[in-house]
Chain A
């Protein structure tokens, strides 16, 4: 189910502004890759270019290649809608659909696409997805209650359940814990560790402890100054990045002497 992502010479633009310059990286399947770096350095922009969410913003575009499973996401004739079904995304702020119940939220990926699904199949999908997101036991008795009735941490896990219900190959997470308290954060981190058995996970985080705790490999993004493009400074095993980084900038950032 999980796939390797090869990024080759990726330049990301907002209209004429080059936001991220020349990223080349390989993200291994069945692993957690963390992206760290100061605010505004292009981590989220880079993450959003991995499932073509970047181009939702007017004027935003990309040059270069992102290859998943031998197929360039930005190749001719590739439908961004199909890309997003393969590469799911969890956002910074929990965003369950306010008009839908917990159950409908989990089934959103199926229902919104006008796909028919049998009642038993639907119930099964809801249960496996919610179990996968460690939420089943908390909500199994109130599946018909609105998704917005849950706490922030539960909402975020509901969003993760919604994402894995469409059975993606890659799950992108954009600071998934920044709006959560430490206990909910721990729940989501445990979940990430479990999800990595089946999915390729890329996570953007501002929390370096989190990157150290839950990722296998870490990429450090940096920006030389305002108006300059962000760059991937260093990419290596998490252990190496945090213990013996080869770049001075990485060491400064990790040890707190910067940003």
Chain B
């Protein structure tokens, strides 16, 4: 028996946890020292250089102590963890920036005042924009969810991979990729054609633009969720003498409801932050407008954009308001996610004894 085979069966030594932590700490210090010497010290570079050093040192050390197979294992673990950390960097950075900059203007005024009659030096609020966002995304949801859900039901339950179903899938895929500004232009064209009024600006136009963006995501996610429902359940229902439609409504949809809710919420979250289609369809009102069928309307992304682009004389405050709008938008998306989680938890197929 050679030494190598012996190695493979039983590792000669083992890099214990304290040793690995020590290597990690050493790598971090080395990275900081190196970067400080080069004058490029920032969190991102420390993470990158630090993990490079850590992976190399750990690999060499593990090879010496534990053998080749364990060393490879350690190296891959290190690379995978680094990739995870790198993926987290932009996420945490965005959240940190938005929260830290947005907290300045997170006051009562922001939620209760609109920008109506706010002079160049005064501070207003984003009440009108919050109302606008809720109304437009709400209407967009009301339009897209039935259409998207029924289309998904058609694809899964009735389409049988026929010509119509394949065509629908193809167009949904194409629609997923269209730029959002095109959706806005489509909505304008649609209303111009219907009403003959070229200058019609209203919340409903924006909502239609958003639903054009939302329908493909709803169709796609709902389709996936409905396909996950085991065929045995459908057959069990048919075998009880239940018609196809009742089987879908009472067996398939309730079984998939958790996934459907998550998918729809993600679709809402996706369109909530859209700016371009709303900018060209709704105008950017500075006043509160509860009527989505008449008059221009604002939305949080539009508010953020106009506060940043046309700050007036009080530049700093205006910029802070833009960050707060971003923060509120993020909070709304988070609330939606929590709601989806709750729905999932509440309706999910019950297990346990």
Contacts and interface: CB of A to CB of B under 8 A. Distances in A.
Interface of A: 51, 53, 56, 58, 81-86, 88-89, 91, 93, 95, 97-99, 101, 108-109, 111-114, 142, 145-146, 148-149, 159, 162-163, 166
Contacts of A162: 236, 240
Nearest to B229: A98
Interface in B227-277: 230, 232-243, 246-247, 250-251, 254-255
B241 A81 contact: yes
7 shortest interchain CB distances as A-B pairs: A85-B241, A98-B349, A146-B350, A89-B239, A109-B240, A95-B232, A84-B241
A99 B238 contact: no
B255 A113 contact: no
Q: Which of A85, A99, A113, A163 has the most CB atoms of chain B within a 10 A radius of its CB? A: A99
Contacts of B254: 99
Contact of A146 (B160, B230, B352): B352
A88 B254 CA distance: 23
A188 B242 CA distance: 25
Contacts of A51: 239
B93 interface: no
Contact of B233 (A82, A86, A97): A97
Nearest to A145: B353
A85 B239 CA distance: 7
Contacts of B236: 91, 95, 97, 159, 162
Nearest to B241: A85
Contacts of B353: 142, 145, 149
B351 interface: yes
A252 B247 CA distance: 44
A58 to B, nearest CB: 5
Nearest to A93: B232
A56 B352 contact: no
A88 B240 contact: yes
A112 B242 contact: yes
Nearest to A162: B240
Contacts of A145: 353
Q: Which of B236, B239, B247, B250 has the most CB atoms of chain A within a 10 A radius of its CB? A: B239
Nearest to B347: A99
A112 B237 contact: yes
Given A51-B239, A98-B350, A112 B250 contact: yes
Interface of B: 160, 230, 232-243, 246-247, 250-251, 254-255, 347, 349-353
B345 to A, nearest CB: 14
Contacts of B238: 53, 56, 81, 84
A108 B351 CA distance: 18
Given A114-B246, A149-B351, A84 B255 contact: no
22 contacts: A81-B238, A81-B241, A81-B242, A81-B243, A82-B241, A86-B241, A88-B239, A88-B240, A91-B235, A91-B236, A97-B236, A98-B350, A98-B351, A99-B347, A99-B350, A108-B237, A108-B240, A113-B243, A146-B352, A149-B353, A163-B240, A166-B240
Given A99-B255, A148-B350, 17 more contacts: A56-B238, A81-B238, A83-B241, A84-B239, A84-B240, A89-B235, A91-B235, A91-B239, A97-B236, A98-B350, A98-B351, A99-B350, A112-B237, A146-B349, A146-B350, A149-B350, A159-B236
A111 B241 CA distance: 11
Given A99-B350, A148-B349, A163 B239 contact: yes
Q: Which of B160, B238, B240, B254 has the most CB atoms of chain A within a 10 A radius of its CB? A: B240
A58 B240 CA distance: 20
B313 to A, nearest CB: 60
A253 to B, nearest CB: 28
A146 B247 CA distance: 19
Contacts of A97: 233, 236-237, 251, 255
A108 B240 CA distance: 8
B258 to A, nearest CB: 10
B348 to A, nearest CB: 9
Contacts of B350: 98-99, 101, 146, 148-149
Contacts of B233: 95, 97-98
Given A56-B238, A84-B241, A97-B236, A113 B246 contact: yes
A84 B240 CA distance: 6
B341 to A, nearest CB: 18
Nearest to B236: A95
Q: Which of B233, B236, B243, B251 has the most CB atoms of chain A within a 10 A radius of its CB? A: B236
Nearest to A88: B239
Nearest to A56: B238
A111 B237 CA distance: 11
B228 to A, nearest CB: 12
